């Protein structure tokens, strides 16, 4: 079968139209009117034809088209993807705070699976997985060029079953084998404690739908126990992000006015601004936010807002730089696409995407041994100990509240 001229374009347009539902006649019309690149569409049609006529096995037409859609989305950026019903359910599970697997947030880089951050208290955390680690094999199977969803499915499984990852770290010459036992992952989003009299600590491990309310309740308890906080450390290290609204609510807990974050995209519905409401939950007490290379997305929104409003001192390492908005758009066949539709901007207009948040005080995530006192805060968590020291200094310098 051979096509020529506008018929090539029309055929490719119909193929694309079958996948895109209502857009099919728009695509076809644009193709014949010259709005779409004719040569590229001709190549698409020719490759499709060659696969059907010469590939070693017969390939289902629908499977070919779906694979074309997947490739089209995945080559846009690491976060756009095609979602079938099962994949969409998995996406929803992550926002509810309970799912099965290893407890690791991942993306893609250079064709491999990249660790964004391990989640507190999970098998990945216990195994020492770090942000930036590249997973190159799962149970001996190479992930090079593998669809991210497929890699995630290979890492998930029955609780109690084992999976072995081959992990390449930038500082290492050879990959290492890491065997972990899968578990039901229940994420405790907000955890608190008193570090010293008057100095509180809040750890947010992931932004879920209830994180904002959980934070306000936690701060109320800390304030009550301390008879008013003199300072607070907000720990967002290795927090891979989550629900946008939760990030807005967390930042709003410490801000009384002004913009928290804005989103900007090509279409009007992608444009939005989130504004703080009156009432600071800790009444203006000094605030230090701990971040590192595993702080991503919603974590960066919070850190950027508090930094731009001079409400907190950001301490640690530059953050991951995941500052884009993904919208889940349903298709006619019950499937969906997750498409990057906007980017996040801080109140001062800084883009988070690929840049991240640069801390006010840079501090490497090092481990310190305290001779004779391994239980000291410096030995257990050096960045946190430095955050406490910084809080004490800010408390001395802070005006009466």
Positions marked catalytic: 297, 308, 322
Q: Locate all alpha helices (DSSP H) within 55-207, ordered by sequence.
A: 61-74, 85-96, 123-126, 148-155
Nearest CA to 301 out of 366, 223, 204 is that of 204
- Given a contact cutoff of 8 angstroms between Cβ atoms, the answer to whether 167 and 133 are in contact is yes
- Given a contact cutoff of 8 angstroms between Cβ atoms, the answer to whether 296 and 241 are in contact is yes
Return d(Cα 241, Cα 205) in angstroms, integer.
8
Return d(Cα 116, Cα 129) in angstroms, integer.
10
Classified as helix, coil or strand, 336 is strand
Polymer length in residues for the chain: 401
Nearest CA to 276 out of 299, 298, 254 is that of 254
Nearest CA to 250 out of 223, 289, 194 is that of 289
Return d(Cα 111, Cα 186) in angstroms, integer.
29
Classified as helix, coil or strand, 224 is helix
Instruction: Please give the C-alpha separations between residue 50 and each of 53, 55, 56, 63, in angstroms, as whole numbers.
Output: 5, 7, 11, 15
């Amino acid at each position: 079968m051979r096509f020529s001229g506008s018929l090539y374009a029309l055929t490719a347009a119909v193929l694309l139209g079958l996948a895109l539902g209502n857009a099919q006649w728009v695509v076809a019309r644009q193709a014949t009117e010259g709005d779409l690149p004719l040569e590229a569409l001709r190549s698409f049609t020719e490759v499709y034809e060659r696969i059907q006529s010469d590939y070693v096995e017969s390939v289902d037409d629908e499977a070919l088209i779906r694979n074309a859609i997947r490739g089209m989305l995945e080559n846009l950026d690491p976060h756009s993807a095609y979602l079938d019903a099962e994949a969409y359910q998995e996406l929803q599970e992550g926002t509810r705070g309970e799912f099965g697997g290893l407890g690791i947030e991942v993306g893609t880089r250079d064709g491999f699976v990249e660790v964004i951050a391990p989640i507190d208290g999970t098998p990945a955390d216990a195994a020492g997985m770090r942000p930036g680690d590249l997973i190159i094999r799962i149970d001996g199977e190479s992930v090079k060029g593998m669809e991210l969803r497929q890699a995630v499915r290979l890492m998930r499984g029955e609780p109690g079953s084992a999976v072995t990852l081959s992990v390449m770290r930038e500082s290492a010459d050879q990959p290492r084998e890491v065997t972990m036992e899968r578990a039901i992952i229940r994420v405790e989003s907000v955890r608190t404690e008193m570090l010293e009299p008057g100095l509180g600590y809040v750890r947010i491990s992931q932004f879920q739908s209830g994180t904002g309310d959980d934070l306000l309740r936690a701060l109320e308890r800390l304030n009550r126990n301390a008879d008013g906080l003199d300072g607070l450390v907000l720990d967002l290290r290795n927090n891979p992000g989550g629900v946008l609204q939760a990030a807005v609510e967390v930042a709003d807990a410490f801000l009384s006015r002004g913009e928290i974050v804005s989103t900007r995209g090509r279409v009007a519905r992608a444009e939005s601004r989130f504004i703080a409401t009156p009432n600071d939950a800790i009444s203006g007490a000094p605030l230090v936010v701990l971040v590192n290379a595993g702080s991503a997305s919603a974590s960066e929104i919070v850190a950027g807002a508090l930094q731009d409003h001079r409400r907190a001192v950001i301490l640690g390492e530059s953050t991951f730089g995941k500052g884009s908005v993904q919208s889940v758009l349903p298709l006619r066949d019950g499937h969906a696409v997750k498409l990057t539709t906007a980017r996040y901007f801080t109140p001062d207009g800084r883009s988070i995407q690929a840049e991240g948040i640069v801390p006010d005080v840079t501090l490497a995530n090092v481990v310190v041994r305290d001779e004779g006192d391994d239980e000291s805060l410096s030995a257990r968590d050096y960045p946190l100990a430095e955050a406490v020291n910084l809080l004490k200094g800010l408390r001395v310098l802070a005006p009466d509240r």
